[in-house]
Amino acid sequence: MKPNTERLRKLADHLLHGKLGHEKFDFSQYNNTEENICGAAGCAIGECPIAFPDDWEFGSDGEPELMAGEETELSGKIYFNLDRSQYRHLFLPEDQDTEEFGGEWLSDSATKEQVAHNILEFCKLYE
C-alpha cells in the first residue's frame, strides 16, 4: 500500500510550523473535549480538522473524523492510505515499528516535533 505522502507531509508541516488548534500537543489522545469543538489537548490526528478543514471535522463525540462520519482510526487509514501497522506506527504511542518504517519509538509524552519527524522519515520510504 502506497501512503499518501503529500497529505502526510502537509500534516507534518502543520505540526512543525502551523498554528495548532489545541493549546497542548498530547500524543496520548485525539482530542480532549466532550463537545464537537477543538479541545485543550490533542495529537497529530486530532489536528486533522485544523490542517484539513475541507475534509475533516470533530464529530458529535468530539473525536476527529472524515466528513463521511468514519471513526477516527478508520478515517486516518482512509485519508492517508495507510494499513493498520502504518497507522499505528505514525499515530499511536508506544506502537512504532522502527525497523520497518524508520523514525523513533514514541511514548505518550512525545512532542509534536518528534511525531512530525517520524512522519517525514516514514514518507521517505515511499517517495
Higher pLDDT, 110 or 36: 110
pLDDT higher than threshold 90 for residue 38: no
C-alpha cell at 109: 509524552
DSSP 4: -
Contact 87, 76 (CB under 8 A): yes
- Give pLDDT tens digits for 56-92: 998 877 889 998 778 999 999 999 999 999 999 999 9
> What is the pLDDT averaged over residues 36-48?
74
- Interior/surface letters 51-66, b for 16+ CB within 10 angstroms, e for the rest: bbeeebbbbeebbbbb
- Give me the percent of the chain exceeding a pLDDT of 70: 94
DSSP 25-92: E-TT-SB--SSSS--SEE-TGGGHHHH-TTTEEE-TTS-EEETT---HHHHHHHHHT--HHHHHHHHS
User: How far apart, in whole angstroms, are the C-alpha atoms of residue 113 and residue 15?
Assistant: 7
Q: Is the full-model pTM beyond 0.75?
A: yes
